[in-house]
């Protein structure tokens, strides 16, 4: 889950079905349901850009743009690596970090994505 305190929005990423759900924290009302990357694990809110990032083990990052507190649109699906679902967003650095687990002879790694 991620929180937009200013606009009173809670972002929840679900695995089954793979969706981003946006809730109004004042009323509990479901505002929006959008498709999300499969096997999602983490979701982050970027207040500076009014974006939501969801990392998923399906092998990607779903990126959503907030047009207003009640309307969101998926603007990109950035490929990562299958199984890479754990992430960390640093608003101070404008970077999204995604953990890549060891697969076969490939070592574990952390990929870094710019949000600018």
Q: Which residue has tokens 């574990």?
A: 108
CA distances to 31, 49, 59, 73 from 35, in Å? 14, 20, 15, 10
**CATH number where 57 lies:** 2.130.10.10
pLDDT tens digit sequence for 58-78: 999 999 999 999 999 999 999
Residue numbers of the domain that contains 18? 2-114
**Secondary element (H or E) of residue 110:** strand 109-114
| Number of independent structural domains in the chain | 1
DSSP state, 96? E
Report d(CA 53, CA 87) in Å as an integer: 10
pLDDT tens digit sequence for 27-55: 999 999 999 999 999 999 999 999 999 99
pTM, entire model: 0.94
């Amino acid at each position: 889950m991620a929180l937009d305190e200013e606009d009173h929005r809670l972002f929840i990423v679900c695995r089954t079905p793979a969706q981003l759900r946006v809730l109004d924290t004042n009323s509990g009302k479901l505002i929006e349901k959008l498709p999300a990357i499969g096997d999602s694990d983490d979701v982050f809110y970027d207040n500076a850009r009014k974006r939501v990032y969801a990392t998923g083990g399906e092998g990607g990052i779903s990126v959503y743009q907030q047009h207003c507190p009640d309307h969101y649109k998926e603007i990109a699906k950035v490929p990562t690596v299958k199984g890479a679902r754990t992430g960390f967003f640093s608003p101070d650095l404008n970077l999204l970090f995604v953990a890549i687990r060891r697969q076969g002879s490939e070592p574990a790694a952390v990929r870094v994505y710019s949000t600018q």
